[in-house]
Amino acid sequence: MQSKVYQVLTLLLAGFILTCCDPDDPDGDLTDLRYDPTPLDLSVPAEFPPMTSPSDNPLTEEGVLLGRKIFFDKLLSADFTMSCASCHDPQLSFTDGLAVSLGIDGLAGRRSAPSLLNIGFDPHGFHWDGKFATVEDQALAPIEDPIELHNTWSQVEERLRDDEEYPALFRTAFGIENKSEISRDLAVKAIAQFERTLVSSGSSKWDRWVRGEYDFTDEEFLGYSLFFDLEDNIPDAECGHCHNPPFFAIQEFRNNGLDDVNDPMGFADGGRGEITGEALDLGKFKVPTLRNVLLTAPYMHDGRFENIDQVLEHYNTGGAGRYRHPLMRPLNLEPLQLEAIKSFLGTLTDEAFLTNPDFQDPGL
């Protein structure tokens, strides 16, 4: 449904650009174009809570379209080689398939790009350490990060103002009267609107099972029982305490025993502690969603595990280090039980999310 609105809007804008205004018009006046944004009602799977947007940035069709175009636009990077989507690829559930991300200069960051699936429901902060409170604030960062897009916002603002299409899109999304009003604040609002639309389709086996439309196979059911500790005669794999439905995450930072560190100052990456300044938060990281997890290898904040088997082996040993969470203990599961957990994780795969036409490069 959104796509149709985009098509109509695209035609209108094309007409506007051809007939109404010279994009090189030095006064940059945009008031001939109507500003009448269409509120967007997100449809979310029945078991999800409602999503709230900040009151100064409600979702509109026009805002989302603009944000989507910016998200995929390589003009964000200094040398026009990368966009947000270079590291957050829709086909990989908005990750990049790398252990740690590489920026435009080929420099490696220290962390792995997280999936942006259901990001708009996430109330507890963004990045592995929760450094940013909102997606709007987060979106300011990659542009100027020297190991990401390595540009300056004033350069990006200039490129957006000088572009043939952006002035009209900013007008229809935010009602600006002149292209000189295009700003980083409006650009990140638009990006954030697009990001909030990145919601599960509700067609994974798990979601269909929740609605009574799918029966787990025996193996999936065993994995489910292990994951959530459902039956007395089946061991507790503890996963569900930290990876809780519907998002298969919790709004907390935890140490899942990745590093055998017994002095809090010894973590190579301090994680949450770098933000709070609390020694006891060092080595804690955001609990990531497990939806689409079989598509987002490598795993963990530093991409240390190449595949899901290595992750399960890690949990089976209980991890290490004296600051690890008490739920991290040796599980001693049999290979067949680990396979069953893997099958259960497969029920969280949402193919329709990957191919949703509204999440691809709009090609405008």
Residues interacting with ligand HEC, by CB under 6 A?
76, 82, 84, 86-88, 101, 103, 109, 111-114, 116, 119, 126-128, 135, 138-139, 142-143, 148-149, 191, 195, 237-239, 241-243, 254, 256, 258, 285, 287-288, 290, 293, 296, 299-301, 311, 315, 325, 327-328, 341
Residue 164 beta carbon to ligand HEC: minimum distance, rounded to whole angstroms: 21
Q: Residue 21 or residue 148: which is nearer to ligand HEC going by CB? A: 148
Residue 303 beta carbon to ligand HEC: minimum distance, rounded to whole angstroms: 8
Q: How remote is the C-alpha of 305 from its chain's centroid?
A: 20
For 53-67, b/e burial (b = at least 16 CB within 10 A) is beeebebbbbbbbbb
Contact 285, 128 (CB under 8 A): yes
- 11's CB contacts (< 8 A; 6+ apart) are none
Contact 170, 159 (CB under 8 A): no
Residue 34 beta carbon to ligand HEC: minimum distance, rounded to whole angstroms: 28
For 328-362, b/e burial (b = at least 16 CB within 10 A) is beebebeeebbbbbbbbbbbbbbeebbebebbeeb
Q: Residue 44 or residue 333: which is nearer to ligand HEC going by CB? A: 333
Q: Residue 178 or residue 251: which is nearer to ligand HEC going by CB? A: 251
Residue 56 beta carbon to ligand HEC: minimum distance, rounded to whole angstroms: 18
Q: Residue 99 or residue 364: which is nearer to ligand HEC going by CB? A: 99
Answer positive or negative: Cα dihedral of 299, 305, 308, 312.
negative
Q: Residue 23 or residue 318: which is nearer to ligand HEC going by CB? A: 318
Q: What span, in angstroms and rounded, lies between the C-alpha atoms of 63 and 39?
A: 9
Residue 175 beta carbon to ligand HEC: minimum distance, rounded to whole angstroms: 23
Q: Residue 33 or residue 136: which is nearer to ligand HEC going by CB? A: 136
User: ∠ CA 296-336-219 to the nearest 5 degrees?
Assistant: 75
Residue 232 beta carbon to ligand HEC: minimum distance, rounded to whole angstroms: 18
